[in-house]
Structure 1
């Protein structure tokens, strides 16, 4: 019986159940195990508390003023359309006289449609960004709470002795993250940059900012034989890593 419970807990059904991604049959199985086995119920409650903590920590705020800008845009559209119809009615009584005015308002309407398209595209981009952020939070939650995740301590070499980081690798879910806990001080014209060598290609993961590194995990490209690097680069980052300035290696 204990082996059966262990196999269930090693799977990701509890995490998927919490995130609402299980099938109806899987949901019934999870609910049955929660009701029957105290170990499963305890793990479920713990995961639920962790998920709530993650949701609060990584809550995505709507950009300030977005609602007001959209309302202003809607009011502007309504106002413009009302003006258009009033002038159109007047134009029906003097078509020749107001032919030029009709063209003007047609041109204005075309401009308004273009602006509406721009606003719609920006809203779609915002929705996509939010979706990606939520997916990243979900993956972080799985990595930190899945028993198959491996944890590796990363320390800097003599060029960055104070550098400390923790890498989290889950070979089953094929997810990799790193939390840079501490960064040594650098001159203003230098920065730390992260890289990953995947299938023989070097991938630029961007500049590591201390404020960001202390608050969240940074995603790493997953590969069976990937290697990560942290280097010291000129301010703003580099296109290719400076090999002689490698300060930490992360093999995963």
Structure 2
């Protein structure tokens, strides 16, 4: 066999494209085994086809077939005489599908990585906010503690011990009244936790006649760690009392729920 003429005949292109009959394909397969140069030519044709597919060229078997006819100088009648079973092997479609699958896998992997990264960023931000919150709370507690200490050590602040009353014999409290700043610091560490729906209310009292004035309710009793509350007091107080009232407070003290009472020493 003249390998060069066999290669130039164009039959190898038809073989690669699956355009030969079964008998012709068997003949070409035998030639591939016997002649390395023919096998190398077939591999070169397959590589060219792969490169063409990679470039996303549309699959046009009729156009390629027409180019092969032109190269072989066949007329339509002559070609019609060759028994050809055209095996449609859509290489570009296969390669395109494989590329699409690979792209989707890559996108999913990247999406998962980005999702994990976003979760790490969010978690870090949460931890940062919690840390900042703890620092802020610690600073606030420190400031509050310093304020309480300065009040307790101020010789001009009037200390008023509040004694337990019949409704709560074990209770106790104290008022530290700074007349200059018109602020009363109420220490209620000795009071029991109020039941649900109830709140402690602090009263400034005039004794003759008995005239109570509300200084406010201790709504954050459970949350306040120091159990010391600062309330405005511009009154000429003669005594202080603490009662247990419904949430929101009362207009006048419920004497049956008087927990502590103390008189200001002249």
Structure with the higher helix share, 1 or 2: 1
Give TM class, smaller chain.
0.3 to 0.5
Which TM-score applies when normalising by structure 2? Answer: 0.43
Work out which of the two has the higher radius of gyration on C-alpha atoms and give 1 or 2.
2
What is the TM-score normalised by the length of structure 1?
A: 0.45
